[in-house]
Amino acid sequence: MSERPEFTIRVDQNPYLPAGGREMHAIVTVEARRPDADDDGPPAEGGAAEIIIIDTSGSMSYGGKMAAARRAAKAAVGVLRDGVRFAVVAGANRPRMIYPQGERLVEASASTRRSAANAVGRLEAAGGTAIGSWLRLADRLFEGQDGAVKHAILLTDGKNQHESAEELDAALRHCSGHFLCDARGVGTDWEVAELRKITSALLGGFLDVPDPKDLEADFLAMTRSAMSKHVADVALRVWTPQHAELRFLKQMVPAVDDLTAKRRESGAQTADFPLGAWGSENREYHLCVEVPPGDIGRQMRAAWVKLIAPGSDGAGERELASGNVLAEWTDDEARSTRINGRVAHHTGQSELADAIQEGLEARRDGDEDTATARLGRAVVLAREVGNEQIAGLLDKVVDVIDPATGTVRLKADVAKADEMSLDTRSVRTVRTARTRKNDLPPAAPPADTPAAPPQDAPPPQDAPPDGPPGTPPDEAGS
Amino acid sequence: MNGDRNAGAHGGAACRDCGSWAVTADGFCEACGLRQPGADEHAEAHLVVDGRPALGAGISDPGLRRVHNEDAFALARLPDGACGVVCDGVATAPGSREAARAAAQTASAVLLDRIAAGAGPGEATREAVGRAGEAVAALADGDGGPGPACTFVSAVVAAGRVTVGWLGDSRAYWLSAGESYPLTTDDSWAVQAVARGELTAAAARADRRAHMLTAWMGAEAGAFEAHLAAYEPDGPGLVLICSDGLWNDLPDAAALASVALGEAAGAAGAGGTGGEAGAGGEAAGEAGPLGAARRLVRAALDAGGHDNVTVVVIEFPPPDPTREPG
């Protein structure tokens, strides 16, 4: 299994806390890289299953959406790898099997891909939208595919009108942890918050596709990405000290997603957070833990993060990588007030997403003061973190008078598609290339502060020497 | 990976902050998270019989007052038993930490070699002491300053017999549920003054010269003759070799025995069935020589931890994996 990706964990933080300091922030970067990366990579180690769910409600017949959806679904089927177990489902008031005919999955091959494409070509739009029932069908189809990368693609063009919000929530609770789902909203009649809730529960992402003709390329990319996933059901295990509290764990790259509530206790001092399936990629997480303060000069492991995957063939779980979040109490203000650049960057992106979502909600509610203040703040933050895509989308919703102070005026006429795009993409973050060398100085550094830390204090990131005989090598930072 | 979620822990020392026996190899407590001062100076090893810790264990800890650990130990399995060495670097001589390590490692390698080649334990011990002394002398840089120096104590526990060799004030003890007693006599000013009839034991111990060594291993030691002694215990027990960081505060053999044997684990440790609680995680650490070594180090730290403390504990008789003992 030399083709299995190699996982690494990197921790960026300023480990120094002032006397009595309790709150420690760190950015945990998880990277998976195949040693010999070719175009496609190997198939998933436990197999893969893919279900394509196409909204066929009546509204899909307008604006060329149904035709675009047929083309997109055909394209997706066309790039399924041989051997991937798949199905195509049509969604309306109730879900309906399009391919194969019975409630089951079939293995992808030249002939099944062709038959599926023919079946997709006969899709017609009629009826309503009940997404929870579509997901429940997918869940039944995925049953028995243990260990496989189980992924669904959901396309919708409308609100979930033909079942209650409670029914959808119940379906999400039922399906959560069973399979992953990425979603696309086509047109402008679907609800951003709804797709955000669905994909967050099912560890996926979603995007707006305002113009149906873009759907085909988007489906191709999404399916190829799903086919590149190699390791299923990865989890981040977080150990914290006694009397400490994990305040939050947020995915920050590729998009903001608060994982805190997905916590699953896995030991006396450990909790697991599901991270879904992985191909060759990297993601970043912002972790915040509150620890009991230590004396000046003491060091603490504030968190121990480990990447866990289930073992193959029922073997025990595997530890793929681990890293340490440290804390060290110091009376040197130059150290304790420094802010790690990556922590600052992601704190800004997180606040940016909140500011946009709150601003747009206030705007929809007619609260112009709040909308102006929050969207103005978003303009400042988008500049600070260098998120040009969001800055460009904000420009379509507000007139920026002074980007430095965030003085803005709400535009009178905003295209629905632009507002939805801003809302959808508010959580899409940009990476930072900053390393810990670029730690930001405190806002008002004392004039006589030396630029470099004194030499007599070894940096706590240093790996300790080999352990004593008979003990496993230290795993920090591996 | 052994599937144990505490696989990273080696449980070598108690955390000084919360008391948990779960300090990982990198020095952080697995309960409260605090890094132990001098964590890099701590070492632990234990032997494994039938996949369980048994037969022998050693722990070396810098104590609570010192940053560096100038003690060293070695522990090795023999064809029908085990051997251990403890050396204590003389703090006033530079390089003594290296001296202690070189002496312990050299002696242990010689013991293994010679006994495997069929030498008797007495002959092997004599040779081990000689070669260890050469290794320490070789560390001196020869420019006139005080050369590195260390004490020495070794124990070979095999074939129904306990053979100890020593030089300086590191000690060996026989500890059992019945009788317990020291197996060595210190090469120290206090012991010699008592032996000459000049002082009572209590007066000698109170003298500021009490700990002055009268024999050691190293450049200025001259030609030394190690002491050698052999015992044939008639029941099960534990052989303890240790640095003065342990016995300074706990000199009495009976007191050491009650700490080492513990209350619940006493029978298991002394009876050579140290592995019987092996499946129980934390309990496995408490029984047998590993549990005994931990309790002894803990006791030294609780008594103040004024000095480096090093203990090696070997079971007698060695557990026989092929049959139930006794």
Three-state secondary structure call for residue B187? coil
Distant-in-sequence, close-in-space partners of A410: CB < 8 Å, separation ≥ 6: A363, A368, A371, A372, A375, A397, A398, A399
Here the tokens at position A423 are 């809302």
CB-nearest to A470 from B24, B28, B46 is B46
Same-domain status, A283 and A397? no
Give yes or no: residues A161 and A60 share one domain: yes
Q: What is the CATH number of the domain that holds A21?
A: 2.60.40.3670
Best residue in B28, B42, B49 for a mutation probing chain A (most A CBs within 10 Å): B28
* Mean of all residue pLDDT scores within chain A: 88
Distance from CA of A312 to the nearest CA of B (A): 14
Give the pLDDT confidence score for residue A313 in this predicted structure: 65
Please give the backbone phi and psi of residue A406, each rounded to the nearest 5 degrees, phi first: 80, 30
User: Is B26 within 8 Å of chain A by CB?
Assistant: yes
Q: Clarify whether residues A312 and A379 are in a common domain.
A: no
> What is the number of CB-based contacts under 8 A between chain A and chain B?
75
| Cβ–Cβ contact B67 with A under 8 A | no
Binary contact (B40, A294; C-beta < 8 A): no
Would the CB atoms of A471 and B31 count as touching at under 8 Å?
no
Q: Clarify whether residues A135 and A191 are in a common domain.
A: yes
Provide, as residue numbers in chain B, all residues whose Cβ is less than 8 Å from the Cβ of A300: 28, 32-35
Q: Closest approach of chain B CAs to the CA of A221, in angstroms?
A: 37
pLDDT at residue B143, rounded to an integer = 62
Q: Is residue A396 part of a domain?
A: yes
- With beta carbons less than 8 A apart as the criterion, state whether A166 and A141 touch: no
User: Which residue of B lies nearest to A470 if distances are taken between CA atoms?
Assistant: B45
| A470 in any annotated domain | no
- Residue A452 within any structural domain of the chain: no
Taking only residues 106 to 165 of chain B, the set having a beta carbon closer than 8 angstroms to any beta carbon of chain A reads: none
Q: What is the largest CA-CA distance in chain A?
A: 76
The DSSP code for A59 is G
Domain boundary among A408, A425, A442: A425
Residue bearing the bigger pLDDT, A261 or B319: A261
Same domain for A326 and A199: no
Total domains in chain A come to 3
Looking at residue B125, its amino acid is T
Residues A144 and A107 in one domain: yes
Radius of gyration of chain A (CA): 24
Q: Which CATH superfamily is domain B53-316 in?
A: PPM-type phosphatase domain (3.60.40.10)
Domain spans, chain B: 53-316
For the residues B215-222, what does the mean pLDDT come to? Answer: 78
Domain holding A418: CATH number?
A: 1.20.120.1690
* Residue the block writes with tokens 């209590």: B202
My answer on whether A294 and A165 are in the same domain is no
A331 CA to chain B: closest CA distance, Å?
18
Distance of CA B138 to the CA centre of its chain: 24
B contacts of A319 (beta carbons < 8 Å): 1
Per-residue pLDDT reduced to its tens digit, B220-238: 776 678 899 999 999 999 9
CA-based nearest residue in chain B for residue A270: B5
pLDDT digits (tens, 9 = 90+) for A292-323: 999 887 889 999 999 999 886 667 889 999 99
- pLDDT of B211: 80
Q: Based on the domain organization, do A90 and A183 belong to the same domain?
A: yes
Cα separation, A170 vs A201, in Å, equals 11
- Same domain? For A216 and A283 the reply is no
Amino acid at residue number B73? F
Residue A157 inside a domain? The answer is yes
What integer pLDDT is reported at residue B219 of this predicted model? 67
Instruction: Note whether A360 and A371 are within 8 A (CB).
Output: yes
Of A331, A362, A378, the residue at which a domain comes to its end is A331
Single pTM value for the model: 0.64
Query: Are residues A354 and A319 located together in one domain of the fold?
Result: no
Question: Is A290 found in the same domain as A271?
Answer: yes
**B4 CB near a chain A CB, below 8 Å?**
no
CATH number assigned to the domain comprising residue A84: 3.40.50.410
What are the residues facing B227 on neighbouring strands? Answer: B166
Chain center to CA of A160: 23
Neighbour-count burial for A202-211, b at 16+ CB within 10 Å, e otherwise: bbbbbbbbbe
Q: Which residue of B has its CA nearest to A327?
A: B34
Judged by average pLDDT, the poorest of A32-46, A197-211, B142-156 is A32-46
pLDDT at B213 over 50: yes
The pLDDT value recorded for residue A3 is 62
- φ, ψ for residue A443 (rounded to 5)? -55, -45
Candidates B315, B319, B316, B317; CA nearest to B56 is: B315
pLDDT of residue A286: 98
Of B225, B247, B228, nearest to B171 by C-alpha is B247
Give the confidence band of B41 by pLDDT, cuts at 50, 70, 90.
confident
| Best of B2, B5, B71 to mutate (most A CBs within 10 Å, chain A) | B5
Q: Please state, as a whole number, how many other Cβ atoms lie within 10 Å of the Cβ of residue A95.
A: 23
φ, ψ of residue A398 to 5 degrees: the values are -130, 155
B5 touches chain A (CB under 8 A): yes
Q: Which structural domain range is residue A109 located in? A: 48-227
Looking at the structure, tell me whether residues A116 and A189 fall in a common domain.
yes
CA dihedral B229, B232, B238, B243 (to 10 degrees): 0
The yes-or-no verdict on residue B144 having pLDDT over 90 is no
Partners of residue B3 in chain A, C-beta under 8 Å: 316
pLDDT at A448 over 70: no
